Structure 1
Amino acid sequence: MSQLQPSPQGASPPLVSVLVSTCNAARYLPGCLDSLLAQTIADQLEILVIDSGSQQEESAIVRRYQAAHPNIRLLRTERETVYAAWNRGIAMARGRYLTNANTDDRLAPEALERLSGALEADPQAGLAYADALVTSTDNAGFADAFAGSGAVSGCFHWPAFDPALLLRVCFVGPQPLWRRQLHAAHGLFDPSFHSAGDYEFWLRICRHTRFVHLPAVLGLYLERPGSLEHRNARRNQEETARARQRHWDAASGPLPPAHSGFLRRYRLQAFSPDEPAPGRPEVSVIVPTRNRPAQLARALESIAAQTFRNLEVIVVNDGGADVSEVIRTARPGQASVRCISHPRCLGAAAARNSGLRLSRGRHIAYLDDDDIFYPRHLETLLGAARTQQARFVVAQAVQARYGARDGRRLWHRLHPTSPLTLEALLVRNRIPTLAVLHHREALGTAGFFDESLPTHEDWDLWIRMVQNFGAVVMAEATCEFQTRSGPDALTARQRHNFLETMRVVHGRYGHLARDPEAVRRQQRAVERRLEAELFGVMRWVLPVLRPLQSTLRTAASFLSHALLPRLRALAARLRG
């Protein structure tokens, strides 16, 4: 074993120690080191490279970098697991914080500054994690993701921290940063794991410290079949199940069975159209629900009435009362029905994302619990997707209002989704969620719902879908959504969120327009109208203006018929 070079005598401790385990990854290592040396706090880093018996020239590469960067240290060992290598690095680390840097992943220049800043600002938090882009392009740099090079194939939008949810799926991304002192209190990584040892450690500490999620894209993750994570999918799944079993609280009930929805990464491989899946359904219908059992039953009955039968239903109970009896009673025909429950309300985006991660269908449809499909909805949209080879299909939808007491439909009208162009969609959302059917493969490019948006999360994703795939719009209305009480029903916080998230979406995508200035003018007009509607401006402005109309008309008549002739006569006398 080669000895780790000592740190410079008298050098102050670094802020962050970076653990780089490498084995036969020489072609990725220079890009990894360059990404770390480009960090805005590069002078506060120590980079610990553990060469685990590589047969390639990683050690020689590191020594060349060391000539100019004394904060890089190298240790060469026999072949061992990545977690054994990390443990060696932790034993030598001097930084207040630790992070792992996979040789084939890349960081935004400000990533470690922002992650460490989050923990500096919150002494009670032990780990910070952020969102990441996904690429299948070897050695793509973080800047390539924003250069229109086609390097990006997806995005990880992780949820906010929740220990119970972490037991169901690992939402800590591939590039977290954590406090070194956690290992003194809770031990090192378990070196017997090959691919899920980090997940096991996150589960070990999540009951003792809080994690902080930064809803910002700070990393680039390489999705490649040859990676350690993908070479042995069965072992990865078994290790994930073992980690979960080790930390599952028996009081929480039986441990849910391990399946792809519980894999430690939200891997885009799970969305491959060629993924083998015995008895795989053609369509997965995602149904979020929360404390609306009667409406949920009606929604499920509309799925049961579909003329297209090869489907599965995934009900996501977003922190509400138990719905198992509702599902049992209103079982949608012969369709497979699965239900996942969030321990608390995580919001619409998180609920739909949970459903997506459990889904197996080649196509995805969405149905909120207070909406319904008409019988030919799935058949119609799927037919269009197949005949036109479309990735994103949108139906026309009917908007309806029902009586609160008797449930009778009071009125209805067509909610047109066409004409549907990217320019029009940049201004306002024209697509009801239940009107959409898309290929699951589209998620690999467009990404998931953004869980940082409390509202307009669907609009945000539809823009990305239309940007990448366009849209096939059907002429037929095949579904119906309810309008409950309009803006008057919104709380002050919801009104604020509705306007603020509209501004967020406008700011994100306005640059995609052919004429950004024209689109921005339309966006501002829509924002002003929405602000007036939501905050009641028109309710007090119009009553004041209406009585003034008569007064203004009288004044105008007086000016034109009485005062102006007298003024003209006076002017004539003065000229004479």
Structure 2
Amino acid sequence: MQDGQTSIPLVSVIIPCYNQAHYLPCAVESVIKQRYNNWECIMVNDGSPDNTELVAKSLIDKYPKNQILLINQSNQGLAEARNAGIKASKGKYILPLDADDLIHPKMLQKTVSLLESHPEIAIAYTDVRYFGRVNRVVLAGEYDFKRLCFQNHLNYCSLFRRGMWEVTKGYNPNMVWGYEDWDFWISCGEKGYYGKRIPKPLFLYRVKENSMYTNAVEHHNELMAQIALNHPNLYDQPYPQEAKIRDCGSIDTLKTDPLVSVIVPTYNRHDTVKRTLESIATQTYQRIEVVVVNDGGEDVSAIIDAFRDRLQIKYLVHRENRGLAAARNTGIKNATGKYIAYLDDDDIFYSNHIETLIKYLGTNNCKVAYCDAFRAWQEKDNEQYVIKQKDIPYSFDFDPDLILAQNFIPVLCIMHEKSCTDEVGIFDESLTTHEDWELWIRMSRKYHFTHIRKVTCEFTWRTDGTTMSSEKKSDFLRTMGIIFDRYREYSKDNPRILELQRMSKRRLQSGIFKIFYKLFNKTKNLFRSLFLFLI
């Protein structure tokens, strides 16, 4: 026992462990290094198939002066592992800590001081520092229960009063895919308990390629529905209704108009994403959900919250920047709509965009349709970007051969049934550019695309090189080559496609922006103007 430590500890640190024995010593040692000494540490071996029990016992032997305990149980999941540790604990305050994460030496000192001096506060939480694959600090935000119901801004590793856990009956084991901490914080808020932020990054979260968190994001819809079922008095429609429907049938039986899911990836564009969301909020077609995926950028939750009374909106966060393909995929996986549309965080829909597409798709035997878009040329003027002119670079009827040579469908123009991605797959996350084009090619092998000759949206084009840098142009050439090789079976015996591919590559290499050309189409015996290339 350390000097100054009483026989009954004030703080109990609970560390569940499942298949992470190699991380466990670092987590425990981060507790050993605390400047605050009156604690116990309880490791919960949740039926782990690795050597967790052996490692845990070695840590107990290594630090005999500290109150370190081990509980072994069959695998029951993270919620029950935390509950088991808390049930066996003695502390007045509880700190959950996962086996692969760490706490700063001042974590207990600062959080205990806050709760001891403010008896009205039940949860002391801090900012977080990511380490591992990503190294940065993320600010937690001030406590707001209304916001908490839709977005979790508290870290799971927060100090809270044990009595609160007893009143709420602890972590709910029905959160099988994750978010058990979010559900617990909501339970606490529902009972009148609230938290306070300490604006220091005292919690250290290890970012890995795969984790409980990434798994939870993949199952956001199911988990959010379960949270709504767990707290039916807190949520207006559609959350409780959708949750119940998942148990008994299809949501489409309740509404005559199909739901459209708009996927909005965002990354460090808080100055433009508000305009993007405003363009969705003003659509003439109202059956819309918006899935915003923050791809490891600055927090935009305050902007998201401002739209919750006007939009059915989901806000998902990647711990690290994974690229457009991954962000859109996360959006698709969590979309509940029959139809999928896409809008980047610096582009806009005109008010008739969704209505134009949904009317066509809903009345014709077609699963994919696209409109035309203005390109808004922007220049910097007094440190702000302003639109100088607009044009329409792409307005071409669909050609399944032409799509093998060049992408002439901007991503914001298209709408398709979600079932299309069930059939052909989602965006290829190995492609850092041209990921949308590659998906359109896969879709075009199975579905006909209908072109609606109407301008219903607008994308930005900045003339200072931020839109198309030399580095990005080089990557466009690289991914273009990958796509040409990948779908060579469709072009190898087709001179028309091969010539179009050569011209596309030459145009990108030379940097020539405007090219007109005509090709003879033998099947129709006429010359057709194919399209205006512009990158």
Count of residues in Structure 1 that have an aligned counterpart in Structure 2: 322
Alignment check: 8 A CA contact 2:491 2:498 kept = no
Q: Which residue of 2 aligns with 1:410?
A: 388
Unaligned runs of 5+ in 2: 1-17, 24-47, 56-71, 81-96, 103-130, 134-171, 186-200, 206-212, 224-244, 514-535
Alignment check: 8 A CA contact 2:173 2:180 kept = no
Q: Provide the rounded CA distance (Å) in 2 between the counterparts of 1:258 and 1:342.
A: 8
Q: Which residue of 2 aligns with 1:533?
A: 511
Q: Which has the larger radius of gyration?
A: 1
How much has 1:241 moved relative to structure 2? 3.3
How much has 1:300 moved relative to structure 2? 1.0
How much has 1:503 moved relative to structure 2? 0.7
Q: Provide the rounded CA distance (Å) in 2 between the counterparts of 1:300 and 1:388.
A: 29
Q: 1:530 to 1:410 in 2, by over 3 A?
A: same
1:183 matched to 2:50? The reply is: yes
1:240 matched to 2:194? The reply is: no
Alignment check: 8 A CA contact 2:292 2:314 kept = yes
- Is the partner of 1:438 in helix, strand or coil? strand
How much has 1:184 moved relative to structure 2? 3.4
1:383 matched to 2:359? The reply is: yes
Q: Which residue of 2 aligns with 1:422?
A: 400
Alignment check: 8 A CA contact 2:402 2:500 kept = no
Unaligned runs of 5+ in 1: 1-86, 91-123, 126-180, 198-202, 212-234, 265-269, 537-576
1:467 matched to 2:437? The reply is: no
How much has 1:505 moved relative to structure 2? 1.0
Q: Which residue of 1 aligns with 2:280?
A: 303
- Quick check: 412-421 or 311-320, which moved more? 412-421
TM-score, normalised via structure 2 length:
0.51
Q: Which residue of 2 aligns with 1:444?
A: 422
Alignment check: 8 A CA contact 1:361 1:440 kept = yes
Query: How is 1:69-80 mapped onto 2 (pairs within 5 angstroms)?
Result: none
Q: Provide the rounded CA distance (Å) in 2 between the counterparts of 1:506 and 1:237.
A: 47
Q: Provide the rounded CA distance (Å) in 2 between the counterparts of 1:308 and 1:415.
A: 26
Q: Which residue of 1 aligns with 2:374?
A: 398
Q: 1:493 to 1:184 in 2, by over 3 A?
A: farther
Q: Deviations over 1:438-496 (max 9, x none)?
A: 11111111211111000000101111112111101101111111111376754554332
Q: Which residue of 1 aligns with 2:412?
A: 434
Pick aligned residue for 1:290 from 267, 272, 275: 267
1:351 matched to 2:320? The reply is: no
Q: Provide the rounded CA distance (Å) in 1 between the counterparts of 2:176 and 2:354.
A: 38
How much has 1:204 moved relative to structure 2? 8.1
Alignment check: 8 A CA contact 2:221 2:335 kept = no
Q: 1:206 to 1:386 in 2, by over 3 A?
A: farther
Q: In the alignment, residue 436 of structure 2 is paired with which amino acid?
A: D
1:328 matched to 2:265? The reply is: no
Alignment check: 8 A CA contact 1:283 1:363 kept = yes
How much has 1:516 moved relative to structure 2? 3.4
How much has 1:356 moved relative to structure 2? 1.1
Alignment check: 8 A CA contact 1:403 1:410 kept = yes
- Is the partner of 2:51 in helix, strand or coil? helix
Q: In the alignment, residue 438 of structure 2 is paired with which amino acid?
A: D
Q: 1:498 to 1:419 in 2, by over 3 A?
A: same
Pick aligned residue for 1:317 from 294, 312, 315: 294
Q: In the alignment, residue 183 of structure 1 is paired with which amino acid?
A: D
Q: In the alignment, residue 477 of structure 2 is paired with which amino acid?
A: L
1:261 matched to 2:220? The reply is: yes
Q: 1:527 to 1:259 in 2, by over 3 A?
A: closer
Alignment check: 8 A CA contact 2:101 2:204 kept = no
How much has 1:192 moved relative to structure 2? 4.2
Alignment check: 8 A CA contact 1:310 1:335 kept = no
Q: Deviations over 1:197-218 (max 9, x none)?
A: 9xxxxx988769999xxxxxxx
How much has 1:293 moved relative to structure 2? 1.7
Q: Higher helix proportion, which one? A: 1
Q: Provide the rounded CA distance (Å) in 2 between the counterparts of 1:300 and 1:359.
A: 17
Aligned-residue Cα RMSD (Å) equals 4.5
Alignment check: 8 A CA contact 1:363 1:439 kept = yes
TM-score, normalised via structure 1 length:
0.48
